[in-house]
Chain A
């Protein structure tokens, strides 16, 4: 017989991860806002190397993906895997280690990027010592997660855990293969791959870091928290099975659409494009499954800000997963590639989808963790509108900027001479960059409101003790 203490869910580590996640969100978004201001007023780096655009920008992206994103994914994975397995975390000490070691990597990694230790591979900028540390912590995360599933008391492995599982496995594979390099010193290494080959490997990684971390992982969030919150079972179990495997199979092929018209074999580009277009199907299947799940609970949207965030995030997920395949078509990509349209697309995913679903999840999870009502529903509602307004303004300003850049760059007159000078096109971007700065500020303000709201909710409380409920014999392991 195990005693009641070990039977209790380990929620303190979840709460701590949420706290870190919110802190990284604010810091990394603030860095983003500053970067957008630098594009309007280029001298505000004051000649300081650590404020220089080229160094601060990787800090922004890594802070969001690995600080905010991964901390939120670890938190929600730990929370939901216990509740869907009806057992406490496997190896809770290892879970705590993963939590703090990860934060240390984000902190020191961020500083190393400002110091200029940069491997120059997008979303994999951290140098080799960090790559090794990430691998170790990731394995610990995997042991805790799969260990909990392996010791579960309920026979089926719930859908959300498939997605978190795919996140852990595929990211490990991508991370290791893409970062293979020969170290020269503690701060510098040379990639095992060169030139065109390196490009194909990098975008196999880069696109699927988006695919399995920012999409797969967050779909895990959706599959647990949306049905839980709507108090409805997932609309179609069959659809989620098909969508899951189609997603895992198809996503990995799509990377080469980042290299259209670049110096890589054309068949790779075409294959990447075709598979990117096909990817629309599993993406929308999941979106439809989610929307249909809430379809009989719309009235909850009136009163519940957390559910509003989650449902809106699904809408942006649908938008971004339509826009992505469209941009992967060569004839569209010829305009969008290298422009701010790409930046807009990334943010319709990162703000509209990833941040919104995370916010909704936090508003749902935190009051339950500490067993107390959300401090202010009103503030959460204000946050919702700030987040929506910020995201829309961001995307639209970048659409306008990106499409005009793309078309103006390509524009030639009747005798084949360029119609516009590059620097004139660049100078015409200032109004859009200003709008984007405002958008970023609005979104950041909302995030700070949430931080305050959650802080006041948790203030002075410890996570409540939750004991796994009895398992329905029909689903039990011994059944």
Chain B
């Protein structure tokens, strides 16, 4: 019980700066909301003052922040300028697609990256290493949105000899029957290019960190012991070195979760994938500040939460970090 409340306390402490930033960006920076509300219509100073009082803007900043906190934690993020619906309703629809895209890509990226990184790190400087690490470095230097565009043109629209196999936008086929028969398969077919883009750029992280982590294990005495027991080389690597190398890998990757979210936003925009990033981007047009605000809070809170979850997972897997 005490551990759970400590965990909640840490979560709130970590989220506070995000909320503060949201407050500064969306309540303080945009200027006087009273003026914005009465935009275009002449208003006397008294009317403006009355509006401000009604919105609670004449209270001290701290009070405003507390009321803001209360509203956010209740789920009241205001009403969308564009859709005229509660913001949380607008965003709730985008949460699923974002999780699907980011989650699938992370799973693939981790699996591929850890496998290639382990092989590269086991024989550093070898041919496999040079080739796979060179590829990983190049993909890591690639802007995610650009890779998406290239894949879109190459495999979606089709350019030159390459056929346009995959859909170029959205999560579902606009015309029923245009794509695969079952809805799940239709979504999966639309998911291919976005996931491929995100995976291609993200896997490099896992590769590079796993490679360094494994190379650091080489020469450890317990590996000589494993070889002396009669294990094959691959067995020594996979059963002893890799599990030990995984722990620092996970720890370092905690720091890079924000990169996955940024990549997801870029991919959603390029492929018109209807997730939080796509919604936020299109909210820029109006600008639909409440939606932007809500998307920013949700995405940042997502990063914080995932960081904490990954931290807990790492603790569970390293017996040295557990209390005796």
Q: Do A and B assemble together?
A: no
